[in-house]
Amino acid sequence: MDRTSEAASTKLNKFEKLKAEKDGLLVRHDLAHFAKIGWEAVDEADLTHRLKWLGIFFRPVTPGKFMLRLRLPHGVMTSYQSRTLANIIQRYGEDGSADITTRQNLQLRGILLEDIPDIFHQLEAAGLTSVQSGMDNVRNITGSPVSGLDADELIDTRELVQKVQDMITGNGQGNPEFSNLPRKFNIAIEGGRDNSIHAEINDIAFVPAFKDGVLGFNVLVGGFFSARRCEAAIPLNAWVPADDSVVALSRAILEVYRDNGPRVNRQKARLMWLIDEWGLDRFRAEVESAYGQPLTPAAEKDEMDWDKRDHIGVYAQKQAGLNYVGLHVPVGRLWAEDFYELARLAEVYGNGELRLTVEQNVIIPNVPDDRLPVLLEEPLLQKFSTDPSPLMRALVSCTGAQFCNFALVETKQRAQVLAKALDAELTLPQPVRIHWTGCPNSCGQPQVADIGLMGTKVRKDGKTVEGVDIFMGGKVGKDAHLGEKVMQGIPCDDLPDVLKTLLIEHFQAQPRSGGEAPGSSVSVTME
Ligand code: SRM
Ligand code: SF4
């Protein structure tokens, strides 16, 4: 008996029951009906859970105004798609915004349920889908944002990422084979040298490696963050060539996880828990059997041997005379006019293409040398700078309390205010990567940051106030490893001084002339 039927016959957690009653994908047949009856009349389980199979997220913080999470494989977008998204959110006025996510993806805000059928037509016409982007499905598949542009790239992974997404989602139409996993699932395919997509925090990561002189991928498995436990991915001891084997192996691992992953306790349901239960040898053997052929042992080393780049600024491409221009989008927030402008700039100066990064920024590729000076004078580049100040430059933030009901603190606004203030007070020899996350779910990846801030509630002067736990030591790029919690329960009001001290003591920050150094030092335990 596999785990799906085991769970069905024994202790079902609430979500397994819900899925057993009706597969989430089936709500697509109800959309026209929902649009007619209005969100208030929609069955509770459909409204708050099953709609997420289509990427439609009911937001208890803004009832009736939904979030729509797309899939943007590899973070690649066209100007046509950008304009389509602008058209969709424009009509919602102040409520209509979008966020670039930490999986180089987009989430639209302010969406009304009655508009969904029409929005889905527009998305389909633009070659976009939101299917299987939430709940127990595979999330947006990430790849280097400069794939096909970077002279030092090893493998252009764009086609592979698209093929894996098509396999999982039935070419974007929805695929019931993979719509009932035990839990969410993340896949990354890195073809560059700088581990630009945090391979180590994915359930499956393909990382470039030579085996007997042939370029392919070593495979890592089981990386994840959750409130209960965070783990970096571990080697599967497998290597695949850079061809459809990547799709076949992804399928095999997903099948093993789908049929055997733990389904009783949702806090212990991610892939790593299955690997723990079985041991890596058995897990590998089961994957091998699903794959239908022996797995080639991993190459001795992988080729991720660079520090991570942030891609902000102007960089020459491998195509002579062309450049990619990375724009800094503060905490990833975009409005309809930004999408229109990005579409225009991509068409006027580039080839109509845009790329998103896991740092929540945008890249305009394929800009000829002689067009650069004019592009750099465009008004949008005053808002989305190619040369932001060091702390703003490396700032990442999850959604936080503005829209997310899990949030213990407001994040995006606070992150910007604080970074601007500290940039004004301090000079820094290099950017310091500060990641904000509103709760222990870690969507803002505080464990990969130089300084990670995780929302919590703390007591100050007899009152409960917003605060953070502080993580440090996250290393990205080559030899990536996760940061650890070094301080706990810091009230947000105290953060300016605490961060200033950390920046001075650990990152060579200097007070600008006339500025004062904070009075006392802050004690942190670093691994
Ligand atoms: Fe996340 C749940 C937002 C990346 C771990 N995440 C949520 C929900 C859906 C909760 C909810 O229903 O409100 C958040 C939606 C809030 C909203 O309105 O925007 C949410 N997660 C996000 C995004 C938008 C953060 C961002 O601002 O960029 C990211 C969307 C990525 C995407 O395009 O699909 C996002 N979430 C992540 C990441 C980072 C990553 O993938 O690199 C993680 C940690 C990595 C991982 O999953 O292993 C992450 N999100 C979680 C978890 C904890 C998962 C677990 O195993 O316990 C939850 C809670 C859950 O699934 O029960 C969660
Ligand atoms: Fe919401 Fe918490 Fe994820 Fe932030 S980390 S988006 S607050 S679930």
Query: What's the pLDDT tens digit per position in 59-82?
Result: 999 999 999 999 999 999 999 999
Q: How far apart are CA 333 and CA 107, in angstroms?
A: 10
- Torsion angle defined by CA atoms of residues 28, 34, 39 and 42, in that order, rounded to the nearest 10 degrees: -80
- Torsion angle defined by CA atoms of residues 71, 330, 473 and 459, in that order, rounded to the nearest 10 degrees: -100
Residue ranges of alpha helices (H) inside 292-354 are 336-349
**Eight-class DSSP state of 307:** P
Residue of 52, 399, 445, 468 best suited for mutating to test ligand 2, as the one with most atoms within 8 Å of CB:
399
Residue with tokens 């993979």: 178
Q: Which residues line ligand 2 (CB under 6 A)?
A: 398-400, 404, 406-407, 437-439, 441-444
Measured in degrees and rounded to the nearest 5, phi and psi for residue 308 equal -75, 140
pLDDT the model gives residue 3: 53
Half-sphere exposure of 72 (CA within 13 A, CB side): 31
pLDDT the model gives residue 344: 98
Q: How far apart are CA 232 and CA 270, in angstroms?
A: 13
Domains of the chain listed by start with CATH number:
1-129+330-387 (3.90.480.20), 392-511 (3.30.413.10)
213 alpha carbon – ligand 1 mean position (Å) = 38
pLDDT the model gives residue 11: 75
Active site residues: 69, 183-184, 438, 443-444
Q: Which H helix or E strand runs over 300?
A: none
Q: Which H helix or E strand runs over 452?
A: strand 451-460
Q: Is 225 close to ligand 1, i.e. is its CB under 6 Å away?
A: yes
What's the length of the chain?
Answer: 527
pLDDT the model gives residue 364: 98
Give the pair of three-digit tokens for residue 166: 């098509």
pLDDT the model gives residue 517: 60
Q: pTM of the prediction?
A: 0.96
Among candidate residues 236, 307, 311, the one with its CA nearest the CA of residue 275? 236
Q: Is 58 close to ligand 1, i.e. is its CB under 6 Å away?
A: no
Q: Is 406 close to ligand 1, i.e. is its CB under 6 Å away?
A: yes
Contact 198, 139 (CB under 8 A): no
CA 177 to chain centre: 24
Q: Which residues contact 348 (CB under 8 A, 6 or more apart)?
A: none
- CA 400 to ligand 2: nearest atom: 7
- CA 439 to ligand 2: nearest atom: 2
pLDDT the model gives residue 525: 47
Residue nearest to atom 19 of ligand 1 (CA): 399
141 alpha carbon – ligand 1 mean position (Å) = 14
Q: Which residues of the chain have pLDDT under 70?
A: 1-10, 514-527
Ligand nearest 266 Cα, by number? 1
Q: Which residues contact 150 (CB under 8 A, 6 or more apart)?
A: 144, 192, 317, 318
pLDDT the model gives residue 514: 64
491 alpha carbon – ligand 1 mean position (Å) = 24
- 375, with CB counted inside 10 A (0-12, 13-18, 19+), is buried
Residue of 398, 405, 454, 471 best suited for mutating to test ligand 2, as the one with most atoms within 8 Å of CB:
398
Q: How far apart are CA 3 and CA 334, in angstroms?
A: 42
- CA 455 to ligand 2: nearest atom: 7
Q: Is 442 close to ligand 1, i.e. is its CB under 6 Å away?
A: yes
Give the pair of three-digit tokens for residue 415: 């992150």
pLDDT of 120-137, one tens digit each? 999 999 999 999 999 999
